[in-house]
Structure formats: structure tokens, C-alpha cells
């Protein structure tokens, strides 16, 4: 049993597990930021343009018959296709995708600059011809 616990401890303390935990926590935090941006800013802009806070009330009546539950109570006076809910969810998806795209694009730009700086600081590696010349010279000195 102690061997199993030791292996589990080594697994948990390994780099991949810690990095995964950090990624999940940051992902949740970024998700809240994106949700706040989408719901608090972008959907309010949609509301200013459309006149409604979202598209949830956009629906198409497909039947005038009342729907009843098992006891016979009227649940709804008509049947509707709830197109607005789909439009709201789709708009939220597109806006979330745009925000994530902007974040990833900025991150990639930052990484390219950092990689370019690292490459500029690194000494230039010898070319193939230089290496072959060194080998030839070393062999002739023998």
C-alpha cells in the first residue's frame, strides 16, 4: 500500500499534473472573464441595437393547440419554435470564439517576439561547411 501511495505522490507532484491543474484553474477564470464580457458588454450592445437584452423572446408559433400535462392542466397555450434561444446561444458562442481568438492571437504574437529575442541572443551555430572543415583539419593534424 505504501508503494502505491508513493507512486501516486510522485505522479501528483510531477510537472504534467501540476501544469494541468494550473491550466484548468486558469481556464475557469478565463471562462468567467469571457462570460462577463459576452453577457455584460457585447449582449448589452446587441440589446441597444435590437431593443431587447437578448433574442430569447424571438419565437415562431407552429400550433395553436394547448399543451397539457399528465393531469390535464394546460402547460402552454400554444407550441412555439424557440428560435431566440438558439440565436442567443449562437451569438454568445460567436462572441466567445472571437474573444478566445483575440487572446490566442495575442499570446502567439508574444511568443514569436520572445522566441525571436531568444534566437537573437543565442550564438550562431556553425554551418555544415564549417564543421566539415574542422573535421578535415583535425584529421590532417593527426
Sign, Cα dihedral of 111, 117, 120, 123: negative
CA distance 63 to 115: 62
C-alpha cell at 32: 468567467
Contact by Cβ (8 Å): 59, 83: yes
Q: According to DSSP H, which parts of 14-126 are helical?
A: 15-37, 43-50, 83-121
CA distance 81 to 126: 69
CA distance 14 to 89: 39
CATH of the domain at 72: 1.10.1200.120
If DSSP codes are grouped into helix, strand and coil, which group holds residue 53? coil
Q: For 99-120, how does the pLDDT look when each residue is reduced to its tens digit (9 = 90+)?
A: 889 988 999 999 999 888 777 7
Whether this model's pTM surpasses 0.75: no
Contact by Cβ (8 Å): 56, 86: no
CA distance 30 to 26: 6
The rounded percent of the chain whose pLDDT value lies above 70 is 98
If DSSP codes are grouped into helix, strand and coil, which group holds residue 63? strand
Total number of domains in the chain: 1
What residues make up the domain containing 81? 2-141
- Is it the case that residue 66 has pLDDT exceeding 80? no
> What integer best gives the mean pLDDT of the chain?
83
Amino acid at each position: 500500500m505504501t508503494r502505491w501511495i508513493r507512486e501516486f505522490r510522485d505522479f501528483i507532484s510531477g510537472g504534467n499534473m501540476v501544469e494541468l491543474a494550473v491550466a484548468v484553474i486558469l481556464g475557469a477564470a478565463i471562462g468567467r472573464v469571457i462570460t462577463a464580457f459576452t453577457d455584460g458588454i457585447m449582449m448589452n450592445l446587441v440589446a441597444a441595437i435590437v431593443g431587447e437584452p437578448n433574442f430569447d423572446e424571438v419565437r415562431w408559433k407552429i400550433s395553436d393547440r394547448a399543451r397539457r400535462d399528465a393531469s390535464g392542466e394546460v402547460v402552454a397555450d400554444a407550441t412555439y419554435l424557440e428560435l431566440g434561444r438558439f440565436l442567443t446561444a449562437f451569438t454568445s458562442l460567436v462572441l466567445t470564439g472571437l474573444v478566445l481568438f483575440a487572446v490566442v492571437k495575442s499570446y502567439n504574437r508574444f511568443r514569436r517576439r520572445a522566441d525571436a529575442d531568444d534566437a537573437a541572443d543565442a550564438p550562431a551555430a556553425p554551418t555544415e561547411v564549417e564543421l566539415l572543415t574542422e573535421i578535415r583539419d583535425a584529421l590532417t593534424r593527426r
